[in-house]
Amino acid sequence: MTPALQLDGLHKRFGKTEIIRGVDLSIAAGERHAIIGPNGAGKSTLFNLITGRFPCTSGTVRLHGHDLAGKAPYQINRMGLSRSFQITNIFPRMSVFENIRCSLLWSQGYKYSFWNMVGRSPELTSKTMELLEQINLTSRAELPAGVLSYAEQRALEIGITIAGGADVIMLDEPTAGMSHSETDYIVDLIRKVTQDKTLVMVEHDMGVVFGLADRISVLVYGEIIATAPPEEVRANPKVQEAYLGAALQAEH
């Protein structure tokens, strides 16, 4: 079976600095994969390479076996990959309901039609309501998204990300800047909405990572030093060194 997502020899250079230095990774369909690593390891850059926001310097990204090179974000999205952003990235002036409905449009086959009325379709409305129910924002449906609380905006962001029905979901630090109770809420939400899907997430909160992920990759200075199930990663001396900074001293 082809992996859901496969990275081969990925490199990214900004000017002279090489941020991503040869990443190989294979993520199976249905897997929940977390990418961790110290600050500045290149996690977000890796994310942006996979989703087509930046072009790679070299290497390939394959989604279900299809090469993503040169594809625009919207094309990648149509192939079944959806992502959230580290900084909350919603449509602030539109209502919460509208945010979700817009995210559903393409996958529901509306495309660029200007003869269909979106309000006319009961399925679209009920699908939107279903999703709002899932992310617990039903009572906020009519509010402009910009006035929601931070945790609610993050929940909406996850809702927008999964709405299109993509089977590979990529979340960039979904719990950043949240309190404990908010984090628990979001983790439950993620678990609920990504059932039967492939999840790739970048996360700082180790509690979240070890609770959610099937496998974890550790990214240090643009290279993956370990990919393994949570217990093994926890026991891996290289990972501990990287996090304690001992690896640095050993090199010098």
Partner 1 sequence: MTGIPDSSSAVSPANGNALRSSLPWIVAVVVLLVLPQVFQANSAITILNQMMITIIFALSYNMLLGQGGMLSFGHAVYMGVGGFFCMHVMNLVEANELPIWLHVLPIFGGLFSLGLATIVGSFSTRKAGTVFAMISLGIGELVAACSLIIIVFFGGEEGISGDRTYFKPFFGVKFLQQNEVYYLIAFWTIVSALLMYLFSRTPVGRMANAVRDNPERAEFLGYSARWVRYFSFCGAGFFAGIAGALVAINFEILTETDLNLGKSGMILLITFLGGTGFFFGPIIGAIVFTLLQSVLSLQTELWQLYVGALFVATVMFFPGGLAGLLMMHQPAMRLGNLGLLVVPYVNTLIPAAIGALGLAGLMEMLFHVRHAAVGDIEMRLFWITFDSHTILPWVIAIATMITGFWLAYRNAPKLRE
Phi, psi of 206 (to 5 degrees): -65, -30
- In the bound state with partner 1, the residue whose beta carbon lies nearer, of 142 and 251, is 142
What is the Cα–Cα distance from 27 to 168, expressed in whole angstroms? 10
Give the chain's end-to-end CA distance (angstroms, integer): 43
Residues between 6 and 25 with contacts to partner 1, criterion CB under 8 A: none
- In the bound state with partner 1, the residue whose beta carbon lies nearer, of 12 and 71, is 71
Residues between 48 and 107 with contacts to partner 1, criterion CB under 8 A: 51, 72-74, 77-78, 82-83, 85, 89-95, 97-98, 101-103, 105-107
Please tell me whether residue 1 binds partner 1 under the rule CB under 8 A. Answer: no
Binds partner 1 (CB under 8 A): choice among 143, 151, 176, 226: 143
- Give CA torsion, residues 103, 106, 112, 113, to 10 deg: -100
Please tell me whether residue 115 binds partner 1 under the rule CB under 8 A. Answer: yes
What is the Cα–Cα distance from 103 to 163, expressed in whole angstroms? 6
Least separation in angstroms between CB 193 and partner 1: 16
Q: How many residues bind partner 1 (CB under 8 A)?
A: 49
Please tell me whether residue 136 binds partner 1 under the rule CB under 8 A. Answer: no
> Contact positions toward partner 1, by CB under 8 A?
51, 72-74, 77-78, 82-83, 85, 89-95, 97-98, 101-103, 105-107, 110-122, 125, 128-129, 138-139, 141-143, 160-161, 163-164
